[in-house]
Structure 1
Amino acid sequence: MLIHIYYYVLGYLKVRLTGYSPERFFNLCSNREIEIREVKADEEGGYVFLIGKSEYEEIQPLLEKTRTHAEVIDQYGLPYFLHRYRKRKLFFLGFLLCLFIVYGLSLFVWDIQVTGAHQYSKEEMIDYVQEKYLTFGTLKSKVNCAKMEEDLREHYDQIAWISCELKGTQLRIQVKETLKQNEDVKNEMPCDIVARKAGIIKSIITRNGTPMVKEEQQVKKGEVLISGTIHIYDDTNTLLESELLPAQGDIMAQTVYAYEDSFTMSYYEKEYTGNKKTYYGIELLGKSYIPYTPKDSYQSKDQYEEWIPIRVGHTYSLPIAFTRYTRKEFKPVRKQYTKETANKRAKERLQKFIEGLSEKGVEIVKNNVTIVVDGESCRAEGTITVIESIGKIRQIRNNSGGTTE
């Protein structure tokens, strides 16, 4: 890749070689360390190759010596490009202005990406970040990722680990809602591992730090499980010093989830008529513009929005996007669940909830959920006992109340 850029900047030529002794010519070039690339024989008995602009001047004596002839077929690279368009000053001014605008836009945050969130929606987390920390178009130099990470961990109880970083013009937020066994996350700041919820400790393995709880011990939310502070004592049990480090370990605990779900026995089902209308909008610098909104006479309709951002690569988002709006007409048809179908639907919804827990590495121990169906509604209530990882990272605060640097 770098060699291609090098030759493009200096310029290079595509040359066709013919004559008495082309093989001797190539040998002489090799002896004089003149670089020739992509040598190919053509159908007429000659050879075609690429050579740098400066090297082309060096081969002239060799052509005479070997009684060969070199014909320039094409010219490539920046010098020839500039020469070709030397009279088009407005083009170059526009190009430089474009580079200046792109550089200016790269100093701001134009996109927020959230990955790993399940219990909390991406939209919810993005709205919270925009409300508390930044809006689209905020200078990257004003974004404090470390402070944002700490506050997000405090605000969202189910988050065990979070990372905020700036990539290009994007703010990337990576979330882990549980720390599975033997799963390491990159954290170099001194921290404790605390309980993100109450439970009974079933196992604790400490890889770094000081364990603060034992198996079968009841712990409360926020209680320190593995401390990132190590105390060093002398032979007389006098404290010599304390060392701060990032705590690491696996803590599994028995916890209880309260489950409650209900729905009415009557419901409406959508029957789409096939009628729809599509129109477009543009979003520029965080503001939306819809040039034309078609009218319709739909009494019942769904509206879908497809956001199409403009990006250069994966991390350079521009403050411009297009939105496609689609309206679909439907007729609501009233229907009624039978007792059997309602019971089946309640079980399916419960199973989906349990599968969601299992996907996060949660082991189901006991299911105490009961389903009751009456004439008007179907209700599922109870508790689900599980064994799961309950550790979450909390940075160690210094005596002044701030976090350690």
Structure 2
Amino acid sequence: MPPQTRGTALRHRLAELRGPAVPAKALDARALAALAANPGCRRRAILDGAGVDKTALAGALGAPSAFGQSQFALTRGNAFEAKVKADGGAELLRLVRKHLDPGAAPDETAESAESAERAAAVPNLSAIGPEGRTARTALALREAVEAGGWSLFDHPMLALEVAGSPAFLEPDAVVVHPDGSWTVVEIKSFPMLDGSADPAKVGAAARQAAVYVLALEKVAARLTPAPRVRHDVLLVCPKDFSNLPTARAVDVRRQRAVTARQLDRLTRIEDIADALPEGTCFAPDLPAEQLAQAVDAVPATYAPECLSACELAFHCRQRSRAGDEVTALGRAVRAELGGLTTVEDVLSAARGETGDPDDPAVAALRRAAALRAEALRGAVCP
């Protein structure tokens, strides 16, 4: 089948899975970073690839999740981003120069700063549809490199192929430096206190920015010569307890490498779709029993970490516990247990009832059980 025909057939199939009357939910960098962190989960791969609203699906299944930002946090984040980008992004460009390109920073005088701000181009990236915006962004990036100087791209549109299906991504900003290199800018509403922020939140922002870096590299590779996509991204946050912006450079080389490797491991979406029973549909208006059957038809790889990254985590946790799966205990425990896939298998092996004694996992379990029994005897008998 020609690639174009195959692509059309896949889009039609994904629309059937989503529900013909249900609009697709865009796959953003946050979702891609979470998907890359758990590449073995076919359930998330097909739901995200089909554009299924997992929040609505979880509610329809009777297992709603509190995952995601509150409306207050979204409003606060939007207001802070607008402040950072006010006046043509003058403050944002100052932070970029200070933290990533100090050699190109202007003198700290009003006149030189205003002159530098006027020299920064802010291209118009409007176009019809995500494909049009992606093409417009790529053209504007090439023009910015050819023109030289500073350019600020406000919410450009990038594309990245994930498991054979395109995902359209929208970073907060991309800056083109006078040397032609490109920098991703992430604007977050969590504070930096005395120059430091919550490591967990910084790590999540770094993983999200790494997805944008990967997508930018795809654009750069199509230009000759290929511009350099910087692996130091700029993280902009409120300073202390104020609403004033501050920033720090974050090296995302490790996150970029991990994300690229994990995304490459994802099973192609059409392979997952082809393995589903005919008539499978994830439309949230279907009866809960029918939805549960459709969701359970796709293998999942649940881990406790999913609770902070996936809207379906509560449903998958219920199913994992009901199936007595050791994945509910965490990835680290699962990796140590080898071929033992259920809690009952683990307990049986520890009691010496089943399992190969030469299996390192079985031997460790039996040793641990013996030590526990010995400790309990010592606690009971003086």
Same fold (TM over 0.5): no
Q: Which structure has more RCO (C-alpha within 8 Å, separation ≥ 6)?
A: 2
- Higher relative strand content: 1
- Higher relative helix content: 2
The higher radius of gyration belongs to 1
